Amino acid sequence: MNRLRQNSCFLSLLIAVISLGLLLIAVVLFFSAGGVCTNLLSPSPTPSPTPRAWIEGIRPIAELAMVKFRVVVEVQNERVPEDIRQHFGAKEQMLMLVYGTVKAGFDLDKMAENDLWTDGKRVQLTLPAPKILNVEPDNKRTHIVYYDKSWLVGHDITLEGETLQIADGKMRQEAIDAGILAQAEKFGKVYFENHLRSLGFTEVRVIIK
C-alpha cells in the first residue's frame, strides 16, 4: 500500500512538473504574441552591408520653387480585423508625428514660345499657374508617438506607409489652405521682375495664367 502511495506521489509530482513546464511555455507564447517581451528588449537596428539602389529615370526639369511651408501633422491610423475578432476589441493602432515641407512654384517647362515677348526694352512674361511642386517628409524628425497592437491581430506591414501617405495628403491640403499658391505667385512675380530688370529691360510685365 505504501509502495502504491509512493508511486502515485511520484507520478503526481512528475505530472505537476510537466504541467508547470507546459504552463510556462504557454504563458511565454501567450504574452509574446501580445508584445510584452518587446518592452524587455532594446533593439539595435543594423542595416545590411550596402543598400542596393538603381535608377529608374533621369528627368531634366525646369521647376522654380518659390516658397516652402514647414508643416507638422499628427496622424492616427488603425487596423481593425473584419471578422469576429473585432468584437473583442482587437486592433492595431498607431499615432505618428510627421514633419515635412511643402514647396510651391512654377513649372517652367509648361511655358510656350509665345509666353515670352520682348522688343528689346520691354518684356512681357506669362507664367503658368503656380502649383505644389512636392511634399517632402522629414524622416529625421518624423516618428511614431504611440503604437499598440492587441494580441489577437498580426502586424500589418502596410500600416506605416499608409499613415505617411495620409500625412502627405494632409500636409499638401493644409499648405493650400494656408495660401501657399498665392504666396508662390507673389514671390514669383517679384523674382522675375527683378531678374528681368537686371538684364536691362526697362519695362517688365509678369502675368500669371
Partner 1 sequence: MGNLGLSKLQAIALLLVVIASSICLVVVGIAIWAVEGGMLTTPTTPTLTPEWPTVVARPRDTATPTTTPGPSRTPVATPTLTPTSTPTPTPTPRVIVNNINALGRLETIQYVMQVIIDLEDQPGDIWEQIAGIDKLLLIATGEVVAGFDMRQVTPSNILVRGDKVTITLPQPKIFYSRVDNEKTYIYERQAGLLRRPDPNLETEARRLAERALLEWAKDHQIIAKAEEMGRLYLDSFLRALGFTDITITTQRSSSTTPRDPGSE
Least distance to partner 1, CB of residue 39, Å: 9
Considering only 7, 12, 86, 88, the residue that binds partner 1 (CB under 8 A) is 12
Residue whose C-alpha is closest to residue 129's, from 89, 184, 175, 51: 184
Distance, CA of 183 to CA of 127 (rounded, Å): 15
Query: Contacting partner 1 (CB under 8 A), which of 1, 3, 87, 200?
Result: 200
Residue 130 touching partner 1 (CB under 8 A): yes
Distance from CA of residue 70 to its chain's centroid? 15
The letter for the amino acid at 26 is A
Distances (CA, A) of 88 to 13, 75, 104: 38, 24, 46
Question: Which positions from 74 through 113 interact with partner 1, judged by CB under 8 A?
Answer: 74-80, 94, 101, 103, 105, 108-109, 113
Query: Are the C-beta atoms of residues 160 and 146 closer than 8 Å to each other?
Result: no
C-alpha torsion sign, points 33, 37, 38, 39 = positive
Asked if residue 7 binds partner 1 (CB under 8 A), the reply is no
Q: How far is the CB of 89 from partner 1 (least distance, A)?
A: 15
Q: Based on the shown chain and the rule CB under 8 A, indicate whether residue 2 belongs to the binding site for partner 1.
A: no
Given candidates 127, 149, 189, 204, which one binds partner 1 under the rule CB under 8 A?
Answer: 149
Ranges within 27-56 binding partner 1 (CB under 8 A) = 27-30, 32-35, 37-38, 40-48, 51-56
